Amino acid sequence: MPPETVEVRRSARRRRTVSAYRDGDKTIVLLPAGLSTTDEEQWVRRMLDRLAAKEQRRRPSDDDLLERASELSARYLDGKAVPESVRWVENQLHRWGSCTPDHGTIRLSVRLRGMPAWVVDYVIMHELVHLLVPSHGPRFWALVERYPRAERARGFLEGFSMAANGSTEEC
Ligand SMILES: [Zn+2]
């Protein structure tokens, strides 16, 4: 990774709040005017750490995904779906997720990266249920609906697909 470009902007109008965000390959840190150099350095470091932690939560690793899948199964499926692996894949452009029930493997499209955790959890949940029920019948949906934000997540993904390609996609 190239070194991070950090731009610090001070505002006299900004009294208490400190914030940071990415703008292309730059990171902008907004600080109130009048901080000492030492305070400024500490705040910048703290804000960069916070931003990185937030992004990490939004970009879970394969191991994080497997842990989340196991938690979802325990919480909503009485632990009956037993995932062996959950991983991100690049070559899945028309589906959000897929699975191989015989092996307990689940794959998620990298396009889900950066989406809210509850949306990614929905797709994991959907694939977990497929480990138990292959087809999209009433039994399938009854299990999926145990995840409280299932409907909202479906709406979110449909809206996203419509905006991106003018059609919806299934998993
Ligand atoms: Zn499905």
- Mean pLDDT of the 32-43 span: 89
* Residue 130 and residue 105 in one domain: yes
- Mean pLDDT of the 119-131 span: 97
What CATH number is associated with residue 144? 3.30.2010.10
The whole domain housing 93 covers 62-165
In a domain, 119, yes or no: yes
* Residue 151 and residue 86 in one domain: yes
In the chain, how many domains are there? 2
In a domain, 171, yes or no: no
Torsion, CA 60, CA 66, CA 67, CA 70, rounded to 10: 140
* Residue 77 and residue 110 in one domain: yes
Residues with CB under 5 A from ligand 1 (ion): 171
Q: Give the C-alpha separation, 33 to 11, whole Å.
A: 5
| CA of 150 relative to ligand 1 center, distance in Å | 13
Q: Give the C-alpha separation, 117 to 70, whole Å.
A: 15
pLDDT for 168 equals 64
Q: Give the C-alpha separation, 71 to 42, whole Å.
A: 36
* Residue 74 and residue 52 in one domain: no
In a domain, 84, yes or no: yes
* Residue 51 and residue 68 in one domain: no
* Residue 53 and residue 67 in one domain: no
pLDDT for 86 equals 96
Would you mind telling me the total number of residues written for the chain in this entry? 171
* Residue 78 and residue 92 in one domain: yes
* Residue 154 and residue 72 in one domain: yes
In a domain, 69, yes or no: yes
- Mean pLDDT of the 114-130 span: 94
Decide which of 40, 58, 76 is a domain's last residue.
58
- Using pLDDT thresholds of 50, 70 and 90, give the confidence band for residue 23: confident
| CA of 82 relative to ligand 1 center, distance in Å | 17
* Residue 51 and residue 86 in one domain: no
In a domain, 152, yes or no: yes
| CA of 123 relative to ligand 1 center, distance in Å | 9
- Taking all residues of the chain, what is their mean pLDDT, rounded to a whole number? 89
pTM of this prediction? 0.69
| CA of 96 relative to ligand 1 center, distance in Å | 9
Residue 1 has pLDDT above 50, yes or no: no
- Mean pLDDT of the 46-65 span: 86
Q: Give the C-alpha separation, 31 to 9, whole Å.
A: 6
* Residue 97 and residue 22 in one domain: no
| CA of 170 relative to ligand 1 center, distance in Å | 6
